[in-house]
Amino acid sequence: MADQPEPKKAAPPRESPASNVTPMVYLSMPLAQNGGSLPPDAMSLYHSAVTSLLNKPSTSASEKCFIKDYAAVMAQITQGAFSKSTASKEVLEIQRNPKNIIKLNELVMKPEPFDGERPRPRRWISDYEEAMLANGWSEEIAMKYFPTFLKGSAKDWYLTDVRPEPVTKWEHVKSLFINNYLGESDYQQLSLAIEAMRQRQGESVSSFIPRARRLMLLLTPDLPEREQVQQLKLKLRHE
């Protein structure tokens, strides 16, 4: 009986581009180089790569940066705000500081999204600063993720009035927010609250000072430290 030819061995499956994202550059780089657009098949490749990474049990720091860049770019495209200059700046920042990436599902305190009206602006900015402390955010992280917790008209305000400015300090971002969203009645209520505020019976100095300073800086974000001290002295209990 003639020897039967051996069946051909199946060729090993080719590795899908989505399963190895290491050689791929951040999405924002080719977009910036091509005027903010890529062919559909290229965009599909990035989508598949990110989907593959999200299904992995764990991801490396570089893979997290890759996912973060993809998410940021897609958000900008949706809002019509992607540009070459902002893309290159943000990608370089991610590459230099991969630790400045937060996981929203792992926050100790997650700020509620602000839509321009609700929650009340004064309460929302105060809660955001509480989240900064609770989550151990630096000013850099607080400014970077500030727009993440804005939506609707508040996001529009950020993209038109805040983002174009060379913002370097959290107090500046906070001041822009207060000037835009706190009306005259809010200022009057806050002024009255600060004027009437005193150290409570049984309240420690270490508890009172942060409470008082938070209201002072909410009303006047750039209040000099010397003036803060002077006001605090007047509000402390004299045993």
Q: What is the pLDDT of residues 110-120, one digit of tens each?
A: 999 999 988 98
- Amino acid identity at 58: S
3-state SS, residue 227: helix
> CA-CA distance, 7 to 236, in Å (whole number)?
90
The partner residues of 114 in beta bridges, in order of sequence, read 150
**pTM of full prediction above 0.75:** no
The better pLDDT of the pair 123, 51 is held by 123
Q: Could you write out the DSSP letters of every residue in 18-86?
A: GG--TTSPPTHHHHHHTTT---HHHHHHHHHHHHHHHTSS---HHHHHHHHHHHHHHHHHHHT---HHH
Give the pLDDT of residue 47: 74
Question: Which two structure tokens, joined as six digits, stand for 143?
Answer: 């400014």
Out of 33-42, 125-134, 171-180, which region has the weakest mean confidence (pLDDT)?
33-42
Confidence of residue 177 (pLDDT cuts 50, 70, 90): very high
The answer on pLDDT for 53 being more than 60 is yes
Distance between CA atoms of residues 134 and 109, nearest Å:
6
In one-letter notation, the amino acid at residue 149 is F
Domain residue spans of the chain: 17-96, 104-181, 184-235
